[in-house]
Homo-oligomer: A and B are copies of this chain.
Amino acid sequence: MHIAELDTPSLVIDLDIMERNLRRVADYTKAHGLRLRPHTKTHKVPAVGRKQLDSGAVGLTVAKVGEAEVMLGANPPDLLLAYPVFGHSKLERLMEVAKKTQVTVALDNLEAAKELSDAAKAAKVEIGVLAEVDAGLNRVGVSPGPELMELARGLCSLPNLRFEGIDFYPGHIRDTAERGMEQIGKLSELVQCMLDDFRRDGIEVRVVSGGSTPSLFQSHQVKGVTEIRPGTYVYNDVNTVASGACTFEDCAVSILVTVVSTARPHQIIVDGGSKTFSSDTAAPPSVHGRVVEAPECAFYRENEEHGYVDITDARRGFHVGDRLHIIPSHVCVAVNLHEYVYGKRGEQVEAVWKVEGRGKLQ
């Protein structure tokens, strides 16, 4: 199928760019002796997860049990559930996943760990566990120091759990500008302190799992880290460019839209809004995406099905029916709004992928 045959809005992936992104990160992690366990929340497509594995990832990361079930379709050697799973129904489903592939769970409390241990015992499986540490984001995770050691000792003592090490999500490091580099330095010191604590307690730490896309290529500077879990790097987006981790030439994703109204002065309306792109913005400036054919125009506002593009500074004209490509500001939430994504090479659509993990919230 030629790309001109796609109706709009459609989320399109440039396969050449995606494959280059996969290779670059695989090469980087290999060069620095890091294990790559990509977070699949960005694409939610088993076929893309498989490509990540084929290009050098050692396993895959998911946020929800429903995503783990879907990502079994990638036939992964292991799955990391980087989320504090809780509740009988979810644990039962997770045990079914664990009968098919190796499962590791990141946890920050012993109540959840005990439930997990009971479920694993009943299902006669062994589950890997990581102690979740707060490395500065202030979201989940215990504090490094006594809290972490208490959690780790608890995890080590529970039957059918295999203590693997620690994980953290350095989501507070948004870029690699001066402040970002300072935070990376602090993170490195923090990891060393934690590893010292574990050595003193005689607890073996095989895994130190960190790494998000914005600071991806600085991961080797955080001494002690053994693996990283970037997600966005597979497609990239306006926010990734803003973080300094890639350029617009590395953005594999765009949403193909049609101009549906030019009725108001200095403005065009395209047929995608917050139900197509999400409401997330890239800052600065606060935009919902970058118009590839007219980057001088600001996609400054959305309603649910309307995208407002300010064409005051446009160096071209626009007509109803014109098709434009817009790189979303935040690709992970944009992909999650689409039933299908279309993989193109040049002008040909080579792949139609169902976003199988979309809406798998439980």
| Interface residue from B171, B269, B278 paired with A274 (Cβ < 8 Å) | B278
Chain A interface: which size bin? 35 or more
Binary contact readout A75-86 vs B (1 if CB under 8 angstroms, 0 otherwise)? 000000001111
Q: Is A43 an interface residue (CB 8 A)?
A: no
Nearest CB on B from A261, distance (A): 4
Nearest-neighbor residue (CB-CB) of A107 within chain B: B261
Contact of A320 among B109, B134, B263 (CB under 8 A): B109
Asked whether, in the complex, the Cβ of B262 is within 8 Å of the Cβ of A109, the reply is: yes
Cβ–Cβ < 8 Å partners of A276 in chain B: 361
Complex alpha-carbon distance, A263 and B274, angstroms = 33
The listed residue with most B CB atoms (<10 A of its CB), out of A87, A275, A303, A337, is A275
Copies in the complex: 2
For the complex, is A140 an interface residue (Cβ under 8 Å from B)?
yes
Q: How far is the CB of A199 from chain B (nearest CB, A)?
A: 24
Which B residues touch A319, using CB under 8 A?
111
Residues of B within 8 A of A321 (CB): 86-87, 111
Take A7-B362, A83-B305 as given contacts and tell me if A261 and B140 are in contact as well, using a CB distance cutoff of 8 Å. yes
Contact A275 B141 (CB under 8 A): no
Q: Is the beta-carbon distance between A140 and B362 smaller than 8 angstroms?
A: no
Enumerate A305-362 residues with CB–CB distance to B below 8 Å. 305-306, 308, 319-321, 332-333, 336-339, 358-359, 361-362
The answer to the question of A139 belonging to the interface, with a C-beta cut-off of 8 Å to chain B, is: yes
CB within 8 Å of B: which A96-114 residues:
108-109, 111-112
Find the B residue at minimum CB distance from A85: B260
> Which chain B residue shows the least CB distance to A267?
B138
- A35 proximal to B (CB < 8 A): no
Q: How far is the CB of A266 from chain B (nearest CB, A)?
A: 10
| Residues B108 and A261 in contact, CB atoms below 8 Å apart | yes
Taking beta carbons and an 8 Å cutoff, which residues of A are in contact with B?
A: 7-10, 41, 63-64, 83-87, 89-90, 108-109, 111-112, 132, 134, 138-142, 171, 258, 260-264, 267, 269, 271-272, 274-276, 278-280, 303-306, 308, 319-321, 332-333, 336-339, 358-359, 361-362
Give the 10 A-B CB pairs with smallest separation, nearest first.
Answer: A140-B261, A279-B279, A84-B260, A339-B359, A108-B263, A63-B305, A7-B362, A7-B89, A111-B320, A9-B361
